[in-house]
Structure 1
């Protein structure tokens, strides 16, 4: 049996390994969900997020304990009232969400957007209909228990202390409210997280930087690839990524982000990252026989333990790797160390304790001690994790241009060192520096430079150390590749990939020129977006 799916949920993989060995456990129905609670006069309820995830000892042995007890523990939550949640009330406008989380978008009287995000998840929508109600579908749904249902609830104060933008989720219970209108049947009688939706004008929200324009990853990456006047605050993004690792949040693909925009000098725009969707923070997966095996095979399914194994840093960041390679390319090892050190000092023991105290007391009683130890232990590793993260990104470097004219300068900077500078070209005025970094052959194996669109200039001021594998990809436009001050008998490992569209290539013999047909992801800005699953 084969099928495609678009979600992280490891139950599909678990099924392949284990259903044949433990079919009775896979096919056994979960405990039925509890009936809707009676609404109390003080507008609060006591309700469990997912009593159906409680399972017997045999099932837990093979498929994991996960967070089953927390899912089944009743907690107190206020009843959500659309008429009074914000001044002037809220109007439901659109159902959305991923293949796991059910979302309801809401508008206030000023047009500000909010969202209700379901605490319980259902990844079976990614399966063919014929599989959703069978053993595979039931097991896939059961593995929702790897998520801490109240994990996102404590992220906001931790992010605030770390200096990372964040949403501000509140735990609420949506009753069978007529104000839901056409969405009443789908959304009534369940727990949700109610939060601001990071989109559009957010000048009233300090945790989004009071940005007048918050934009999607698709919009931002399009702007970055088409125009060098748009740029990312790379250190800010690095801070957010280290925070992801601290939380054990491995599902950080491009759609998990929004971007606060700010005007800069010369008509430029700077973007700062807003992480969203913390469903996979504090992931607990490897505590079952079969799920532990899956964890060996799929190293990105990393569990939230007291220590981050440095050998696991690559897997922990696999989903975000295309973003990391593009956005962090000009940061140095010192940048990584400084950001990690700053975060480590800001995430003090009292900060951790205050955040965990926000949990419902029943949840804290079960997980407070474990989370305190884990968050402290992982915090103390941040500098080592940042150093490992830098090493992984520094091995194979990719430097993208834009669809505007640019000049890339490569020049030896000492024994085993190579300085790469990227300039934006302007008619009638000096070139402006976009980014610059000095690489060491001891850390970096290869450097690939993609001109993308525009009439670009690639200038080699001498031959790079032959221990660097240098690739120059011309992309679209009529480009120039020039080698200066090079001895013909000096070894080199430089390849110019010439698409044959009118380029002028003036290089000495050690530099090789090879005709090629650019891949879509190498040709221009639109192609570069394919690397980020955004085109």
Structure 2
């Protein structure tokens, strides 16, 4: 979760916050010692649940001036007492769960678990510690206080709301369950598990249950490597679009490649393998940053992809930007009507009654604080989904990238007076075979098309079907590593052919950063 996985610009926000609000060194006792408000009283060994537990009451210790400057965010929800069952690894599932390796990204701490039936689970803390996102030289400074406090921008229980919504939308999802980890639980006594003790945590199965069962599930690096290597491996683009529109509707801006797994189907006709996107890590759903003067400044001037969830889509380009790597490669076949149809289908799938039912997955005390406001915002955003889809489409349509594979392919560029049609087919395929790729581009939407042939001895054919030469949209063709051939019998206005590969920074086959 890169709330605080900040590569180049996070320090700007940190410096501003530090100048206005902080002095001195990192606060050593930042986190609550135990989720239970009455932690001074020992929990009976036979207790099945706890009452009066908080996700992170340290976020609500500030006064009205601080909240006005920085923002109230979700501080009341972090501090509100909730009830939760006690986690017992030996009995939480039939056959129990066996602890494995400790993991986690830049913020969460997680523990991998194995069930007796071979399925994999993970338990991860509700609260986060972004100290790992900061350079080593800054870890003892006030900047860590600022970054830790920004966790209050997230809603601690948002992940509980997602499953009913994703299920209705036809998007794979995890099914997190909220638990309390006893401070004296013998399964959590090693030094590496200190952050779990006495805290609220989510337990969920690692792989979302799918029907039919996939052949395997891989990360984004392996998934895209397979797509670049062979034309038999194809991304399910309508399914990815559905998932990305759901992201936008819920305000989940943190959708970089590391936030996805991919289910590979068993080989079908012609050896075709379909890759289905599996979203994970829903920490940024209902994110709220700009409800304070400093939060507004950070979100509008420095970190524009940290978009606050509200009844309207405040900055669609920033909201969807973290998923650009996937979107550019996994949505490049779809036209404007398909984007609109997908949004309209989502509207039908997400009625008011479903939204209400999903929000009641929040702990009751958290629902009392957030439920009505979140419900009204989700309804308003649902009504504007077609507009979001149109903005999203136009953003991607400006400069699409079409890639081949390591095999030899034929790229056909057909210029018409009102459009340009790009088709891709294997060199070895018959003329009657369905193309691997085909899409029409309009000059009003598309400024430039990047076409990358990658490896193999590819053929690029240009056909001009207009009375006059068509030069828009511009097309840049990168031949890649094979011995490629350009055939342009009727001229090739606006088309530039480069035998070499595309620059590594923008290359279609650049590996994803997870």
Alignment TM-score, normalising by the size of structure 2: 0.91
Of residues 479, 485, 491 in structure 2, which corresponds to 1:480?
485
Relative to 1, partners in 2 of residues 1:43 and 1:335: Cα closer, same or farther, differing over 3 Å?
A: same
Q: Say whether the 8 Å CA contact 2:245–2:343 is kept in structure 1.
A: yes
User: Offset at 1:180?
Assistant: 3.7
**What CA distance in whole angstroms lies between the structure 1 residues aligned with 2:261 and 2:242?**
15
SS class of match (2:116): coil
Q: Say whether the 8 Å CA contact 2:464–2:470 is kept in structure 1.
A: no
| 1:43-54 correspondence to structure 2 within 5 Å | 43-46=48-51, 47-54=53-60
Relative to 1, partners in 2 of residues 1:27 and 1:90: Cα closer, same or farther, differing over 3 Å?
A: closer
User: Offset at 1:135?
Assistant: 1.1
User: Offset at 1:365?
Assistant: 0.6
SS class of match (1:441): coil
**What CA distance in whole angstroms lies between the structure 1 residues aligned with 2:24 and 2:445?**
49
Shifted more, 238-247 versus 94-103: the winner is 94-103
**What CA distance in whole angstroms lies between the structure 2 residues aligned with 1:531 and 1:89?**
38
User: Offset at 1:448?
Assistant: 1.0
Asked if 1:173 corresponds to 2:180, the answer is: yes
Tell me what 1:506 maps to.
Answer: none
Tell me what 2:295 maps to.
Answer: 291
| 1:261-340 correspondence to structure 2 within 5 Å | 261-263=264-266, 264-297=268-301, 298-309=303-314, 312-340=315-343
**What CA distance in whole angstroms lies between the structure 2 residues aligned with 1:136 and 1:187?**
24
Asked if 1:520 corresponds to 2:507, the answer is: no
SS class of match (2:299): helix
* Cα deviation code 1:478-535 (max 9, x no counterpart): 011101234xxxx821111123xxxxxxxxxxxxxxxxx753357xxxx64435226x
SS class of match (1:408): strand
Instruction: List alignment gaps of at least 5 residues for structure 2.
Output: none
**What CA distance in whole angstroms lies between the structure 1 residues aligned with 2:220 and 2:438?**
24
Which fold has the larger relative contact order, with Cα–Cα distance below 8 Å and residues 6 or more apart in sequence?
A: 2
SS class of match (1:461): strand
User: Offset at 1:167?
Assistant: 0.4
Q: Say whether the 8 Å CA contact 1:178–1:184 is kept in structure 2.
A: no
Alignment TM-score, normalising by the size of structure 1: 0.88
User: Offset at 1:322?
Assistant: 1.8
**What CA distance in whole angstroms lies between the structure 2 residues aligned with 1:178 and 1:78?**
17
**What CA distance in whole angstroms lies between the structure 2 residues aligned with 1:32 and 1:482?**
66
Of residues 456, 462, 470 in structure 2, which corresponds to 1:465?
470
Shifted more, 125-134 versus 338-347: the winner is 125-134
User: Offset at 1:344?
Assistant: 0.5
Shifted more, 372-381 versus 42-51: the winner is 42-51
Tell me what 1:530 maps to.
Answer: 510
Asked if 1:258 corresponds to 2:261, the answer is: yes
Q: Say whether the 8 Å CA contact 1:29–1:138 is kept in structure 2.
A: no
Tell me what 1:156 maps to.
Answer: 163
**What CA distance in whole angstroms lies between the structure 2 residues aligned with 1:448 and 1:163?**
32
| 1:346-495 correspondence to structure 2 within 5 Å | 346-413=349-416, 415-426=417-428, 432-462=434-464, 465-486=470-491, 492-495=493-496
Relative to 1, partners in 2 of residues 1:461 and 1:129: Cα closer, same or farther, differing over 3 Å?
A: closer
User: Offset at 1:45?
Assistant: 1.0
Q: Say whether the 8 Å CA contact 1:7–1:123 is kept in structure 2.
A: no
Q: Say whether the 8 Å CA contact 1:283–1:302 is kept in structure 2.
A: yes
**What CA distance in whole angstroms lies between the structure 2 residues aligned with 1:124 and 1:143?**
12
Instruction: List alignment gaps of at least 5 residues for structure 1.
Output: 500-516
* Cα deviation code 1:360-380 (max 9, x no counterpart): 110011001101101101100
User: Offset at 1:7?
Assistant: 3.8
Q: Say whether the 8 Å CA contact 2:25–2:141 is kept in structure 1.
A: no
SS class of match (1:52): helix
How many residues are aligned here?
Answer: 496
Relative to 1, partners in 2 of residues 1:427 and 1:272: Cα closer, same or farther, differing over 3 Å?
A: closer
**What CA distance in whole angstroms lies between the structure 2 residues aligned with 1:424 and 1:49?**
55
Q: Say whether the 8 Å CA contact 1:11–1:143 is kept in structure 2.
A: no
Q: Say whether the 8 Å CA contact 2:225–2:511 is kept in structure 1.
A: no
* Cα deviation code 1:7-49 (max 9, x no counterpart): 4898743222232233359977877615453435441012100
SS class of match (2:287): coil
**What CA distance in whole angstroms lies between the structure 1 residues aligned with 2:356 and 2:247?**
19
**What CA distance in whole angstroms lies between the structure 2 residues aligned with 1:529 and 1:496?**
18
**What CA distance in whole angstroms lies between the structure 2 residues aligned with 1:379 and 1:9?**
33
Q: Say whether the 8 Å CA contact 2:108–2:127 is kept in structure 1.
A: yes
SS class of match (1:476): coil
| 1:8-87 correspondence to structure 2 within 5 Å | 12-23=11-22, 33-35=32-34, 37=39, 38-39=42-43, 41-46=46-51, 47-54=53-60, 55-87=62-94
Shifted more, 345-354 versus 265-274: the winner is 265-274
Relative to 1, partners in 2 of residues 1:530 and 1:330: Cα closer, same or farther, differing over 3 Å?
A: same
User: Offset at 1:425?
Assistant: 2.8
SS class of match (1:481): strand
Relative to 1, partners in 2 of residues 1:14 and 1:184: Cα closer, same or farther, differing over 3 Å?
A: closer
Q: Say whether the 8 Å CA contact 1:31–1:53 is kept in structure 2.
A: no
**What CA distance in whole angstroms lies between the structure 2 residues aligned with 1:171 and 1:149?**
11
Q: Say whether the 8 Å CA contact 2:484–2:499 is kept in structure 1.
A: no
Q: Note the aligned Cα RMSD (angstroms).
A: 2.3
Relative to 1, partners in 2 of residues 1:417 and 1:529: Cα closer, same or farther, differing over 3 Å?
A: closer
**What CA distance in whole angstroms lies between the structure 2 residues aligned with 1:281 and 1:28?**
28
**What CA distance in whole angstroms lies between the structure 1 residues aligned with 2:203 and 2:181?**
10
